[in-house]
Amino acid sequence: MTSRKRQKTSSSRSSASLISSFYFLPQFAPLGAPLVALPDEILLLIFELLPQSARVAMLPVCSNLHFLVARTIYTSVRVRGLRARLFFSSIAYSTRFTTVYAPFVRRLDYSVTSPSETFLTYPVFCQALRLMGGLNKLILSISIDHQPLLTAFRRYNILLERFQSAEAGRLNGSSNTNLDPMTLPRLRTLRVHGSPDLTCLITNRDVEELSLHPALDYQAFSKFCTLVQCSSRTSCLTTLSIYLAPDLDHAIILHDLADVLPNLECLSIDQQRGRSLGVFEILVAPGQLLPMLKTLYIHRIHETIGMRISTRGPFQKEVLKLLENVPFTSRLSSLQIGGFTWNVDATTYRWRVGEPGYKRSFWRPMSAW
């Protein structure tokens, strides 16, 4: 184990020294301009190929490279516990970190496991969120009571329960300009591992992809539908992944989804027990509950999933028979049930079965997020 760490450290140091040598050593001058003279796009491609430890080692090389390396380091951030508190504090309380590093964050994965974070981390987390104007994807994993986090969201105006703007306040003669509608303006993907109440972040935001886990019972699902229905921008939400409790009826769930999210283009439904073809039969029935649907994923449902069976077995033939009856006006072009996929051929426009796969392509475990 020690030798591996030494090799990793030596490789990162060698990568940093190699790049810095092009800038400092004069013997490389005949080869062309120094490294910092290269276009920023090329430098970013070079830095993306380096391991994280090498990027960190590159930060003190020079000021010109520092900001480019920081852009690649802070693009995707995954924190938890004390590390999360330190990171959010540096963003919230430091002018230098706020103006330089906060705009670089595009993907944030924050996991909460300890009740102590309720009072220590939530305030700085919300303040840091308000400064991350370029945040595109937010992943929240909350294994404790979520109510304190919702309270913090409301306190720091992270939740946009109604359209609020400083300009509208001035027009109405109001002096309250604290309610900034531009908090998380570029948020497009939200993944929640915890209470469905946290999906209130999509309210009045142009969120395009939403994932919910763990399993939702009917009460939690109804609450989720109410939250979505209260949002004024549900037309933007085109991708949804949900995990249902075993006792939920597919027909009720799909009809409720069609009422609140009629523009869904990609749907992933996961259920521990149930009839996989039942979901598909409802969606392709005359009337088309989701007329805009293009991709459908159904996981861990059929009893044959994961077995080494032929792609021309009875299950595949049954699915192909149903696919042949799909209305011509349907936009559905890709279907995945467990490890098996069916796609529309681009030349013949006929459905064909793909080779069995054993990876869940849409809904991934938290370790893969």
Amino acid at 265: E
Whether pLDDT at 357 is above 60: no
Three-class secondary structure of residue 141 per DSSP: strand
pLDDT of residue 171: 38
SS3 percent helix, strand, coil of the chain, rounded to 5, is 45, 15, 40
This prediction has a pTM of 0.78
Residues contacting 95, CB < 8 A, separation 6+: none
CA distance 363 to 280: 18
Q: Which value, in Å, is the radius of gyration of the alpha carbons in the chain? A: 25
How big is the CA angle at 277 (ends 272 and 283), to the nearest 5 degrees?
110
Structure tokens at 253: 């769930």
Structure-token pair, residue 248: 């939920």
Least confident of 164-168, 331-335, 343-347: 164-168
Identify the DSSP state of 168: H
Average pLDDT rounded to a whole number, residues 22-31:
42
Q: pLDDT tens digits, residue range 73-83?
A: 889 999 998 99
Nearest to 351 by CA among 268, 265, 284, 286: 284
pLDDT in tens, 84-113: 999 999 888 877 777 778 889 999 999 998
Q: Write out the E strands in the chain.
A: 76-80, 107-112, 137-142, 189-193, 209-213, 239-244, 266-271, 295-299, 334-337, 340-344, 351-353
Cβ density class 315-345: b for 16+ within 10 Å, e for less? bbeebeebbeebeeebebbebbbbbbbbebe
Q: Per-residue pLDDT tens for 119-170?
A: 889 999 999 999 999 999 999 999 888 899 999 999 998 986 554 443 343 3
Highest mean pLDDT: which of 4-13, 15-24, 140-149?
140-149
Higher pLDDT, 17 or 367: 17
pLDDT category at 29 given cuts 50, 70, 90 is very low
Give the contacts of 72 (CB within 8 A, at least 6 positions apart). 44, 47, 48, 55
Question: What confidence tier does 35 reach under pLDDT thresholds 50, 70, 90?
Answer: low
CB contact at 8 A, 248 and 220:
no
Residue 278 is predicted with a pLDDT of 77
186's tokens: 């570029």
Above 70 in pLDDT, residue 232?
Answer: no
> How many CA atoms, within 13 angstroms, populate the side-chain half-sphere of residue 340?
27
- Residue 311 DSSP SS3: coil
Q: 259-289 pLDDT, tens per residue?
A: 999 889 999 988 876 667 778 778 777 667 8
Encoding tokens for residue 335?
């279907």
In percent, the amount of the chain with pLDDT more than 90 equals 21
Does residue 172 carry a pLDDT above 90?
no
Tokens representing residue 295 in the block: 């991709």
Residue 358's alpha-carbon distances to 261, 281, 305, in angstroms, are 29, 24, 9
Q: Say if CB 144 and CB 114 are below 8 A apart.
A: yes
Percent of residues, the chain, with pLDDT higher than 70: 73
